[in-house]
Each structure stands twice: as C-alpha cells, then as structure tokens.
Amino acid sequence: MGTAGEDSAATAGPGPEDVVGGLARRFSLPGLERHHDASHILAAFSFASGCLSIAIMSAAAALTRQPLVFPSLGPTAFLLFYTPHAKANSPRATLAGHLIGVGAGYLALVVFGLTSAGPALSTGVTWPRVGAAALSLGLTAGIMIWLKVPHAPAGATTLIVSLGILTRPEQLAVLMLAVVLLVLQGVVILRLAGIPYPKGTDRQAS
C-alpha cells in the first residue's frame, strides 16, 4: 500500500517534491536534489514560494497603488505549487473560477442594491448583505461546477466582492490582473522545474 503522498501524486500528477527536484537539477544543486523530497525541504520550498508570490504582488500593489493583493490569492498560490496538475489548479480553472467569482459577486451587489454601499466590515452585516453573500457564493459554486472549472479559492473571491471589500469595476479588473500575474509566475517557475505546466493541466481540464 502506497503512502498518502504517493496516492496524491498518482491522482494529481507532480507535487512539490517534483518542483523542488526539477529546480535543483535546473540550477545544478546536487545536495538539494538528493534531499528534494524531505519534509523540511518541502516546507522550506512552500515557505519560499508563498513569500515570493505574495511579495511580487505586494510590491506591484505598492508601486501602482492598486489592489493587487487580496486573500484568495494565498490559497491559489499554494494549490498552484502543491498540486499543479490537478484539474482545479489548471490555468483555465484558476482564471475562469476567479472570473466567475467576480461576476457573481458584482451581480449580487446589483440585485440587492449594494453597489454604492460601504464594506460590511464598516457598515455592519445587513439582511441585503446576507442575501448578496449567499447569492454570490451559490452562483459561483453552481456555475463553476456547470462549466467544469472548479477552483475553491474563487469562493473567497466572490465574498470579497459581495461583502463590499472590492466593488468598483476598475478594482475588479485589477483583481483579475493579479490572478493572471500569479498564473504567469507559476508557469515560469514550474517550467524552470521541468513541469509541463500548463500543457498537462490543460489536457486534463478539457
């Protein structure tokens, strides 16, 4: 009987150990290559990749003064490097999932007349806000399943919108730009590691 990690690798394709091993070979780091699957090495890689992903977004946000950092980017970054070939982490599912979340969140604001309301954190949770949050999350989940582009972090994205944290169209466009930048960063790092991303994931997602 295989380990849980082996079972996951069998179903989801390459995991973080393959990414670390690929990067070690790419940059000729024999010591790292020999121990690329050790728990402490994988933990260090997860730490470094998470820091790098959000640091790049944060630096861009600081320079442009645009909301390029938002909570659901964190789980997207983690899933991208932990199980890159899982169907839910393909570029198609990632981009479509967040786009669906944004659209559903804004539609919910329109339906409940909240497009000009302040964020729930400052104005309080009203019944219209409860309805908007419920509608946005339900729509996001349903449409993602219907279109076969499940991406769990998109559920957080739609709540960011329907709870009034980011509501203006230009903010939502920047939000999607951040998702695109994160996917492109993932493509670069995974290709450096010899992982055929997004080619493999696109094939599984189709």
In a domain, 203, yes or no: no
Asked, for residue 199, whether it belongs to a domain, the answer is: no
- When divided into structural domains, the chain yields a total of 1
Q: Is residue 206 part of a domain?
A: no
Angstrom CA distances, 175 to 54, 114, 115, 163, stand at: 14, 19, 17, 15
**pLDDT over 80 (residue 1):** no
pLDDT, tens only, 7-55: 444 445 788 888 888 888 887 877 776 777 788 888 888 888 888 888 8
State the pLDDT at residue 90.
94
Residue 205 within any structural domain of the chain: no
Size of the chain, expressed as the number of residues it contains: 206
Judged against a pLDDT cut of 50, whether residue 201 lies above it is answered with no
Q: Which of 29-33, 40-44, 63-67, 185-189 has the highest mean pLDDT?
A: 185-189
Q: How far apart are CA 119 and CA 156, in angstroms?
A: 15
Q: Please report whether residue 69 resides in a domain.
A: yes
Highest-confidence segment of 27-41, 72-86, 154-168, 185-199: 154-168
More confident residue, 134 or 194: 134
Of 55, 47, 86, 48, residue with least CA distance to 73: 55
Confidence of residue 160 (pLDDT cuts 50, 70, 90): very high
- For 101-129, the pLDDT digits (tens) are 999 999 999 999 999 999 998 888 999 99
Helices within the chain (DSSP H only): 4-12, 16-26, 30-34, 39-64, 73-82, 91-111, 120-123, 127-147, 154-162, 169-192, 199-205
Count CB atoms within 10 A of the CB of residue 188: 11
The CA distance from 158 to 13, in Å, is 29
- Which domain does 74 fall in, by range? 4-193
**Quick one: 81 exposed, middle or buried, by C-beta within 10 A (0-12, 13-18, 19+)?**
buried
The CB density around residue 51, as the number of other CB atoms within 10 Å, is 11
Q: What is the pLDDT of residue 55?
A: 87
pLDDT tens-digit profile of 69-91? Answer: 888 999 999 999 889 889 999 99
Classify burial at 85, counting beta carbons within 10 Å of its beta carbon; exposed 0-12, middle 13-18, buried 19 or more.
buried
Is residue 190 scored above 50 in pLDDT?
A: yes
166 pLDDT above the threshold of 80: yes
Give the C-alpha separation, 162 to 120, whole Å.
9
Whether 202 is covered by a domain: the verdict is no
Kindly tell me if the per-residue pLDDT of 149 is higher than 80. Answer: yes
